[in-house]
Amino acid sequence: MVKIQEMNMGSSSGSEENSVRSSSTAVALESEISSDLEEVYHDSLISFQTAAPYCKAITKNNLLAAQREELRRVMDFLILNEHHARTLLIHHCWDIDKLLNTLVDKGKNKLFSEAGIFVVGSRNISSLVSSPTVTCNICMEDCSINEVTMMDCGHSFCNKCKHSLTLYQPCQQTPHISVSIIKDSAGWTQHFTIKITEGQSRRIRCMAHGCDTICDEAIIRNLVRAKNLDLAERFDKFLLESYIEDNKRVKWCPSVPHCGNAIRVGADEYCEVECLCGLQFCFRCSMEVHSPCSCLMWKLWTQKCQDESKTISWISSNAMPCPKCHRAIARDGGCDLMRCICGQTFCWLCGEATGFAHTWYNIDGHKCAGKEKIAPHVMKDLSRYMHHYDHYMAQKRSYTLEVKLGEALQMKVLILERNASTRQDFSWAINGLRMLLLSRRFLAYSYPFAYYMFGDSLFKDEMTNAEKAQKQNQLEVQQRRLQGNVDILSNLIQEQFQWYSTEKLIFIRMNVIKFSELIDAQCKQMHQLIESDFLGSLKMEIHNIAPYNSNGVERAVELSLWDSVTTDSAPPLNITIGDSDSLKERADNELERRRVEVQNNQRQPPSAPAALGRKRISSKRLLKKLLKIPSSVSTCILGKEKK
């Protein structure tokens, strides 16, 4: 008996040990399975969140397909129907990253409840109610099941209530007397009609008091279509445009007249894009591209430039135009004789040009019949504004003229290709013009940035006067260096190098490539200085700017759901050129004219200037001749010439 008992005890202890082992094994297996599930879930999240890093153009034809692409991703991931997926995306402003963060942080139930989703297995009212009639909570009548609609939340009301609703309100003439107003009671159809008319089509909630469930769009569409077909089409249009109106990553192209396209970008909304219609704009503020200015800076700058009435009013009452250069001159005291920076002297009272000899009250040889203008003091802000505005407009005018070089440059390249004995690459000329336009525009927008960065309107308490002066000097040095190199590149591009010899053409090519790379590096350096050192050090406000792109503004490509992967390539040059066939014909005519001219010159004996023109000149003299720059600049480029 003892042995049996010991055996039983041993067997019981063995069973306990086995159970412990099995339980520990089960726990280990469960943890292993959960870790595997976490890895699978993490991988699925990564693949689900992955989006194309480039911008896409959404036309009228593929807007519905673009929306359904986003819907399909949510439907497949969360196993939902289209209505619930759209409700989730509209609630999260079509931001899938935000939707997934809510899912991970709060769980699926909280995700659905916050968005107004109530997922049920069946919404068939006949399967949930045994009675053939249902009492409507609006008209309090027993209605047939066929006349009642139930939403996901379980609330059911009449589609069209049978009785009218009588309301009583005070009369305006006699407030103590109430009058009755007969209204149609608000069944589902009337409720949907009112919400669509009021512009609330995207999130129509249940009629029950305190219920936040979003009504099924299929039910809304069917009931409204039976009453008003145009209103049902309007409802579908609102749902379709929600993909653009409520989506931070998609915006309409601001072209006027509107081209009908929308642009979809990646995660960063601070970027500059180009639509299929050719319009370039800032995606964040829908205004023209303005980097390195922030959106707020550019908005203030455009308002200041457009508000000409105050500036002109102040200038007319406090300044006098120079009779020679027409600059606005303000007086802060002294006598009536004014001297402009161009050297012209004139009378402050009448504005006429005079000599220099004068006393405190009179100017020799001048009789003034004008009245003294009121000029109490010079406005410092106006002086700063005019300084930055003049530099900004000078760069903009140069940019406008250089844009027109596109067709002429295309002509030069065609002549070079036809005149070359072997196939050669002349893309350096097109790339040089692209860099010229990019840097010229970047330089132009740096002056409005400097106006607000170092002024008192935005960042008055962000920097001390010493820090402000140091940073302003640092930026101005880079602006002067960049402008000098940009002007040199502009002169190189404008040269008639299609008629140059091989040596001269190689020289032009090397310098175009050299200065293009140098300007690109300087633009990157200035952008980094502005973004990191200037705007990055701000404590009170955050000003983000679009990143610098050496290829220029990113051009959108038309959305194609069948081609999700595209190769990275430089965007085409955004310049206006003529028809390719006409350009080729003009190039052939130009080559023929040049050939005849050369033949005629060969028949005649060379004149003295022509003979002198065939002399070899040094590369340093050639650069000075082509670019018309001082000798000090050419010495810095080519080095000292050997004696």
Q: How far is CA 505 from CA 449, 472, 626, in A?
A: 38, 40, 12
> Please, what sign has the CA dihedral across residues 266, 270, 271, 272?
positive
In angstroms, the CA 572 to CA 542 distance is 33
Structure tokens at 260: 């009908």
Which is catalytic among the residues 335, 342, 368, 636? 335
Gyration radius of the chain's alpha carbons: 38
* Orientation of helix 380-403 relative to helix 427-453, angle to 10°: 170
List the beta bridge partners of residue 263. 57, 251
Please check whether residue 436 is in contact with residue 515, taking contact to mean a CB–CB distance below 8 angstroms.
Answer: no
Q: What is the 3-state secondary structure (H, E, C) of 460-477?
A: CCCCCHHHHHHHHHHHHH
Structure tokens at 238: 């609102």
Closest among 54, 38, 22 to 553, alpha carbons compared: 54
For residue 636, indicate whether it is catalytic: no
User: Based on the number of CB atoms within 10 Å of its own CB, is 188 exposed (0-12), middle (13-18) or buried (19 or more)?
Assistant: buried
Q: Is 288 helix (H, G, I), strand (E, B) or coil?
A: coil
Q: Element (H or E) spanning 168, and its range?
A: strand 164-170
At position 286, the amino acid (one-letter code) is S
Q: Element (H or E) spanning 125, and its range?
A: helix 125-128
In angstroms, the CA 584 to CA 413 distance is 10
At position 146, the amino acid (one-letter code) is N
The residues annotated as belonging to the active site are 335
